[in-house]
Structure 1
Amino acid sequence: MTWRISRRGTLRGLAWALPAVSFGCLAESARGAEQCLGAVPLCDGCLQYARFGPADGAPVFYFHGMPGSRLEPALISEEAWAAGVQLIAINRPGIGGSTRQRDRVLDWPGRVAAVANALGIGEFSVIGVSGGTPFALACAVCLPRRVRRVAIVSGHAPFRRGLPRGNQDALVRIVGACQGLGSAALALIGAKLRRDPSAAMKSLAKAWTDADRQLVLCSPGNWEKFRLNLLEAFCQPHGLADDIQLLAKPWGFNVCQARCVPVGFWHGRCDELVPPEHAEYMHRELPGSFLCIDPGTSHVTTVKSHAAEFLQFASS
């Protein structure tokens, strides 16, 4: 997910692989669902990952928003189990315990291929949520023989004239203009989350819609999932700043180049963090792609409300 901060740093609403090393599984719900954490060592560091859903389910890689982490899909883990989907979420370089790198967006597909190889996965689909959009589309461009389908949820398009700005763009522009200032602000946010998570989450939610606040703040389970997700996202402020800058800079490819793989878009008409015009623009760039604009959902509620649909799309 993506949120915004002020220039003073206040929170407003925000191949190369060796065998994978598993760090164990954490019980997630009373129905027996588990969240399996691990890491894949690479020649230049490591990438952390988390798996949700059945281990023998259809493999789907989940690319988190920004700020976000491998723990983000916990919000839809029950839907993954119901759909028979094995969701694999990877911390991008500099997020959580993944090694910080000076990557480009187009370096990401090679890293995903390395994780897939280490986990014994051949073909797979990908899901990009919010700021994870460029990384999902890059996989379609660079790995067309391995990527079966791409689902984009509450997705952010490339920065271009004519697209309305969302609440999240303040964060992206601050970090893009001055990484030092952005990193310092992100460090302050991370410290606040660790010191007083309740106050930090309430401050964050000021930029959300009422529906998003209801979903996260009024559910103890969802609140805790978001808290853990954000704590991991802010572990490395400089790495998080790198990740955000990749969204703001040219991606290295055009959206239309992802046309060789089936792509679907899900977006909420009430999304104030990333306006729905972003999905509509990318849909026009990819003739034949699927588009769902829900008139009643916003940024986070679109992810939860349409999880069954985009998981089915990705796994079919």
Structure 2
Amino acid sequence: MTEALDLGDGRELGYRCYGAPDGLVVVNCHGGLVCGLDAAPFDTVARDLGIRIVSPDRPGLGASGAAPGRTTGDWAGDVQALLDVLGADTASVLGWSMGGQYALACAALLPDRIRSTAVVAGCRPLDDDSTFRELNTMDRRLTLLARHHPHVAATTFRALGGIARHTPAAWAHLTLRAAQPDEASTLEALPDPGIAAAAAAALDGGDGMVEEYRAWVRPWGFAPADIPGPVTFWHGDADDLVPPAWSAALAAAVPHGRLERVPGAGHFLGYTHTADILRGLTG
């Protein structure tokens, strides 16, 4: 069930809770082209581990109101308000792919609230042109389209959302082309709501995803070196979407960063190594 938090600035923050209702809180920062529904498949594992996953939608996506011009660092304020409402003095934070930098924002800007952080296949700051050129072709094209032709980008995202909503099998097929065989079989076996539902909700209307792609290449508003707490960077060495070297560089830049490189894993290792990743946040 989606809940809504009034942020007091005219926006609402939509979020969902999975796992153990009274468990240790882990805030999920969802991946790209999806919303907070991407954590739904973690429900059983989180319950078994005594973890409560709180999974909000970023501004303009799913059930959350838009915040034009937002930066990565701004996300920490939304998460702080969410933790206050939940009565959680401290929490851990998890970010996958495009969500990795948002998890790092919480770790950097909420040092008294965030105990530990896990980033799965996360990206380095993309306001650097040389790093941006290393990005996969699809995300690079979508980013440029959102920056220079936002109306066309919105139409494109609406069309993709229509595929996800009306032909989820076709959306899953498109997604699984970037997955390793074990990841593909895991994703195919996910219960409802699956990855297509998370994408359909995020892409609805198109404009929110345009701003999402514009925001992730803006300066973060903090540096990895600013993060005082422990951060584990998980990355599969067969990831074709985000270069594994990016996680190695981030782990070296964070004072208490640690790299977990997973042999043979691809971009979707969060779904095949869920228990290991979540267990690492509870130590």
**Same-fold status (TM-score > 0.5):** yes
Contact 1:63 1:132 in 2 (8 A): yes
Establish whether residue 113 from structure 1 lines up as the match of residue 80 from structure 2: yes
Establish whether residue 286 from structure 1 lines up as the match of residue 263 from structure 2: no
Contact 2:250 2:257 in 1 (8 A): no
Establish whether residue 295 from structure 1 lines up as the match of residue 270 from structure 2: no
The residue type equivalent to 2:15 in the other structure is: Y
- In 2: Cα distance, 1:274 partner to 1:64 partner: 15
Q: Secondary structure in 2 aligned to 1:248?
A: coil
Contact 2:19 2:43 in 1 (8 A): yes
Contact 2:164 2:197 in 1 (8 A): no
Please state how far the C-alpha of 1:131 moved relative to its aligned partner: 0.4
- In 1: Cα distance, 2:175 partner to 2:103 partner: 26
**Map of 1:1-316 to 2, 5 A cutoff?**
36-43=1-8, 44-102=10-68, 103-159=70-126, 160=128, 161=130, 164-167=134-137, 168-217=139-188, 219=189, 221-222=190-191, 224-258=193-227, 260-300=228-268, 302-316=269-283
The gaps in structure 1 that reach 5 residues or longer are 1-35
The gaps in structure 2 that reach 5 residues or longer are none
Report the CA distance shift for 1:223/1:279 in structure 2 as closer, same or farther (over 3 A): farther
- In 2: Cα distance, 1:272 partner to 1:305 partner: 16
- In 2: Cα distance, 1:285 partner to 1:267 partner: 16
| Count of aligned positions | 277
Residue deviations 1:161-214 (CA, integer Å, cap 9, x gap): 257333533333332333222211101111222232222332333344434333
Residue deviations 1:268-300 (CA, integer Å, cap 9, x gap): 001111121111110111243111111111111
Report the CA distance shift for 1:209/1:166 in structure 2 as closer, same or farther (over 3 A): farther
Does 168-177 or 44-53 show the bigger shift? 168-177
Contact 1:39 1:46 in 2 (8 A): yes
Report the CA distance shift for 1:255/1:179 in structure 2 as closer, same or farther (over 3 A): farther
Residue deviations 1:100-145 (CA, integer Å, cap 9, x gap): 1122222111111111111111111111111011211111121111
Aligned residues: percent identity? 27
Contact 2:61 2:203 in 1 (8 A): yes
Please state how far the C-alpha of 1:228 moved relative to its aligned partner: 1.5
Contact 2:116 2:281 in 1 (8 A): yes
Contact 1:176 1:248 in 2 (8 A): no
Report the CA distance shift for 1:271/1:256 in structure 2 as closer, same or farther (over 3 A): same
Please state how far the C-alpha of 1:81 moved relative to its aligned partner: 1.1
Question: What is the RMSD computed on CA atoms of the aligned residues?
Answer: 1.9
Report the CA distance shift for 1:112/1:305 in structure 2 as closer, same or farther (over 3 A): same
- In 1: Cα distance, 2:50 partner to 2:170 partner: 37
Report the CA distance shift for 1:126/1:274 in structure 2 as closer, same or farther (over 3 A): same
Residue deviations 1:24-77 (CA, integer Å, cap 9, x gap): xxxxxxxxxxxx431111221211101011111001100001112111111222
Report the CA distance shift for 1:119/1:236 in structure 2 as closer, same or farther (over 3 A): farther
Q: Secondary structure in 2 aligned to 1:48?
A: strand
Q: Secondary structure in 2 aligned to 1:273?
A: coil
The residue type equivalent to 2:249 in the other structure is: Y
Contact 2:71 2:216 in 1 (8 A): no
Contact 2:97 2:122 in 1 (8 A): yes
- In 2: Cα distance, 1:311 partner to 1:186 partner: 31
